[in-house]
Structure 1
Amino acid sequence: MTQPYVKTLKANGIATITFFHPAHNSMPSTVLADLESAIHNSGEDDDVKVIILQSGGERTFCAGASFDELKSIEDNVEGKEFFMGFARVILAMRSCPKIIIGRIQGKAVGGGVGLAAATDYCYATKYASIKLSELTIGIGPFVIAPAVERKIGLNGLSNLTLNATEFYSPEWAKEKGLYAALFETSILMDEAVQALAVKLASYNPEAVTAMKKALWEGTDHWPSLLEERAEMSGTLVLSKFTKDTLGAL
């Protein structure tokens, strides 16, 4: 399939949400909005006990923001609204009462790192290197930074952000706490993802929901924080530096 999509497959109490875009799973506003809705819907579905978040394709989990859409932004309102797409997805993952397991089969860049960081438990393959390249185009990973820092700490976020041209290895990401385990193949990872999902789906849902809330303690200010960060990013994307850089791509 070459058209972008977000699909939810539900079976045995497990909702598997899959997003896809032919440009390395980059995220335009439409895909972000559909992903937010899918997470909300699964979170509110009493038949769903646990959620698996994954992307289509083989070697790229998510390439981050859609450069085509970034290039088309013409004013601050459009800029803020675009980055609010990422904010709303992260906030949906935060507020979802169900545990979200991340399946990271390949590289994650920019917003893709943010999505991985916003899962509650994350498995990856040996191909799942990560990079925050935002500074190279004149903006910063402001919207996703709280989620990334929550998972790998301020030092890890600083390394990724300032060394913006380098991919960091999956082993580094696991050591920092982004990934719970690494696997040689997607098949082995999928077996582990399913096994964990089945276990979580069998637990007392009230206890799991309470645990989810406890895991995200201290993030009540995120709705206003991420909105401020989206506004900041929406302004920076209009800078001459960013317009020139994106125009050269």
Structure 2
Amino acid sequence: MTAHETLSLAYDRGMLTVRLTRPERQNSITATLLAELGAALDLAERTEDCRLVVLEAEGGTFCSGMDLYDAAGTGAGGPDASRGGTEYYALLERLTSVGRIVVARVDGQVVGGGVGLVAACDFVYATGRSQFSLPEALWGLMPCSVLPFLIRRVGFQRAHTMALSTLPVGAVEAERCRLVDEVTEDAWPSLRRLLFRASRFDQAVVGGLKRYMRRLWIVDEGTREYAVGEFARLMSSDAVRRRIAEFASGRAATRFSADRP
């Protein structure tokens, strides 16, 4: 297993496992994580017999979205927010177009931008403990880059209500709305079936099918520009940055309690 700053990689018989390894920061999204995820996808494409990329995480939180400590510490507005938003959106696009089958193996909380990572994957397997939420409105933000990919997976209305309510969606409900393909405590049998099937067809089929499906969908270059621009605009607000700083320091933790109305 190869160690990196934010994740580890392991390859075995056609399957590259990418594990997020910062549980102390809830496997949050940073520039380093985005770069290392991109490099992992590069490795998968360079490895001729690789068929599956499995994304998983340590510590009971699959991914908590944007690293609020970094955002609070840097005031991440303006150009910084635009650059970060562009890199994040580009990774989601890459997941939907890379010539390998990408699987999210979820066990625990998935928050904000983490929902985008899951929604951009080809298959999602989640344990019954898993929950998915979009809390951005609590900070005066919107899940700008998440929504195009979430709508693609679950439809407009369900994505709309997740963003507007900020309430967590449990694994069973996530399966019902197709954010999750299967609720299971052991994803290995499903992964084995996928790997067996994928090994039987030409590698180019995966990338070709993904490109074709993307052309059938409404997301285009204009969507990326609008999503990133809106995120940068919101992150430039003093009120938004103040709320993020309060949450990061723990003073506003009750705003994001799944057990509170």
Is this a same-fold pair by TM over 0.5?
Answer: yes
Q: After superposition, where does 1:33-182 map in structure 2 within 5 Å?
A: 33-57=35-59, 59-71=60-72, 72-164=74-166, 166-182=167-183
Gaps of 5+ in 2: 248-261
Q: CA deviation at 1:148?
A: 0.3
Change (3 A) 1:243 1:97: same
User: Quick check: 229-238 or 38-47, which moved more?
Assistant: 38-47
**Cα distance in structure 2, aligned partners of 1:103 and 1:216:** 23
Gaps of 5+ in 1: none
**Cα distance in structure 2, aligned partners of 1:78 and 1:126:** 37
- Contact 2:15-2:50 at 8 Å conserved across structures: yes
Q: So what's the TM-score if we normalise by structure 1?
A: 0.89
1:244 matched to which residue of 2? 242
- Contact 1:76-1:231 at 8 Å conserved across structures: no
Runs of 4+ aligned residues of structure 1 deviating over 4 Å after TM superposition are none
**Cα distance in structure 1, aligned partners of 2:199 and 2:16:** 10
In structure 2, give the amino acid aligned to 1:247.
A
Q: CA deviation at 1:46?
A: 2.0
**Cα distance in structure 2, aligned partners of 1:104 and 1:5:** 17
Q: CA deviation at 1:216?
A: 2.9
- Contact 1:91-1:223 at 8 Å conserved across structures: no
**Cα distance in structure 2, aligned partners of 1:84 and 1:7:** 24
Q: How many residues align?
A: 243
CA RMSD after TM alignment: 2.1
Structure 1 SS opposite 2:169: coil
**Cα distance in structure 2, aligned partners of 1:239 and 1:206:** 45
**Cα distance in structure 1, aligned partners of 2:225 and 2:7:** 24
Q: CA deviation at 1:236?
A: 0.6
Q: CA deviation at 1:192?
A: 2.7
Q: So what's the TM-score if we normalise by structure 2?
A: 0.85
**Cα distance in structure 2, aligned partners of 1:91 and 1:155:** 22
The percentage of counterpart residues that share the same residue type is 20
Structure 2 SS opposite 1:140: coil
